Each structure stands twice: as C-alpha cells, then as structure tokens.
Amino acid sequence: MPGTPAQEAAVREVVADAGKYQSDPDRFLPLHTADVEIVNFGGRRVAGREALGEAMRAALASPLADVVTAVEITGVRFPREGVAVVAAVKRVHDAREEPDGGGPALPAASGQLTYLLVEEGDGAWRISLAQTTPTTS
C-alpha cells in the first residue's frame, strides 16, 4: 500500500528534523513516540522517550557531543495505513580527541539505518523505532 505524496513528505520531514535537532533534546524528543525504541550505532538499546532524553542529555554533556551524523534516505514505504518504514544511510563524523576521554572509537563511519514511523492520533508522524547497523564500506 503506497503512501500519498503528502504522507511521504511528512515522513521525510520528520527524519530531516531528527538530523537537524540531534543536539537539541527539546526539539528532538517530540519527534518520537512515548514508547520509542532506539538501537544506536554501538548496539545500545534505549526504550522510551524519557530514557532517550536522559541518554541524549548525558551524551551531549560528554565527548560524544562531538559525534555528529548525517542521514540520507534511500527509500520510504508504507506497509500499512499509518506506518512508514524508512531505509537510510547514516554517516558519522567523530570529532572527539582520541584517546583521552574520547571513549572508544565508533565501530564504523557509516551504517544502515532503519526507521519505523507511525502516524499518531493527532495526525503527526513520529519515530517509533530506529535501528542502526554499522557497515564497513
């Protein structure tokens, strides 16, 4: 079941906003459902918007604040009404000073990112799941 052009545009906008606000919890967190699940580049799973906010604020207060990402959408599909699956490539720029205090190096400089977005009762599309798998190329 294909989504409408307006639905696809709305989904793409949420993904773009997630990238734009990756260092701004007040704008980033509302893009996610209350029960969001995130599996990050390093394999850490975070469940719930509140826990995501805590993890995000801790990361931004650490050398991880110097790790920024860019996301390129490679496809959007709508398996059912109100559900969108977004395939993307995530590219990571790690500007931390290594090794003192920078923490372990990231597993790769890019990864395959899959988002699951849902259209909620207020008509807004929100990220319900994000999973990044590091790639070597």
Would you list the domain boundaries of the chain? Answer: 3-133
Is the pLDDT confidence value at 86 over 60?
yes
- pLDDT averaged over the chain? 88
pTM for the complete prediction? 0.86
CATH code matching the domain that covers 3-133, chosen among 2.30.300.10, 3.30.2350.10, 3.10.450.50, 1.20.58.220: 3.10.450.50
What per-residue confidence (pLDDT) applies to 94?
Answer: 67
CA angle 46, 112, 71 (to 5 degrees): 85
**Residues 74-97: what's their mean pLDDT?**
88
CA distance 93 to 80: 35
CA distance 66 to 97: 9
Mean local confidence (pLDDT), 122-128: 96
Average pLDDT over residues 68-74: 89
- 85 pLDDT higher than 50: yes
